[in-house]
């Protein structure tokens, strides 16, 4: 069983194009957050999460829990009008001193779902 030249060229073209276009297979990854992961800050009024690609806010969410696993009330998840990869979540109550866990899930504009979590502390 031999391979024809055209089949080899097609296979090589597919492999090269797949390697050169990793964004097609990308997911929205958390790149930056405020407050930063593992940081100690004064009580923030909002959380800002910046992802590697645009986010669909209607299909994305953020939950904040304190050290006793009590959920902190938040406002609606909103996308920054100037940056479609940035979510802003207002906090409806002032955070007391302690450690907080942020659990997030997002759907990117290309339909991929990702989720994750991080911690920060309030002085």
pLDDT for position 45? 97
Q: Regarding the domain delimited by 26-122, which CATH topology (the fold level of the hierarchy) does it fall under?
A: Immunoglobulin-like (2.60.40)
- Mean pLDDT, all residues of the chain: 87
Question: What is the band of 19 on the pLDDT scale with cuts at 50, 70, 90?
Answer: very low
DSSP calls for the chain: ----HHHHHHHHHHHHHHHH-GGGG----EEEEESPTT-EESPPSEEEEEESS-B-GGG-EEEEEETT-PEEPEEEEEEETTEEEEEEEEESSPPPSEEEEEEEEEEBTTS-EEEEEEEEEE-
Q: What is the pLDDT of residues 23-33, one digit of tens each?
A: 445 689 999 99
Q: What is the pLDDT of residues 110-122, one digit of tens each?
A: 899 999 999 999 9
- On the question of pLDDT at 8 being above 70, the answer is no
- On the question of pLDDT at 20 being above 90, the answer is no
Q: What is the pLDDT of residues 38-84, one digit of tens each?
A: 999 999 999 999 999 999 999 999 999 999 999 999 999 999 999 99
């Amino acid at each position: 069983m031999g391979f024809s030249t055209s089949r080899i060229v097609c296979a090589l073209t597919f492999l090269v194009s797949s390697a050169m276009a990793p964004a097609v297979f990308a997911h929205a990854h958390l790149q930056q957050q405020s407050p930063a992961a593992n940081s100690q800050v004064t009580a923030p009024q909002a959380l800002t999460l910046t992802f590697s690609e645009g986010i669909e806010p209607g299909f994305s969410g953020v939950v904040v829990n304190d050290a006793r696993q009590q959920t902190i009330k938040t406002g609606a998840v909103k996308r920054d009008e100037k940056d479609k990869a940035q979510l802003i979540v207002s906090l409806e109550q002032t955070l007391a001193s302690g450690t907080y866990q942020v659990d997030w899930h997002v759907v990117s504009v290309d339909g991929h779902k990702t989720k994750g979590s991080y911690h920060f502390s309030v002085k």
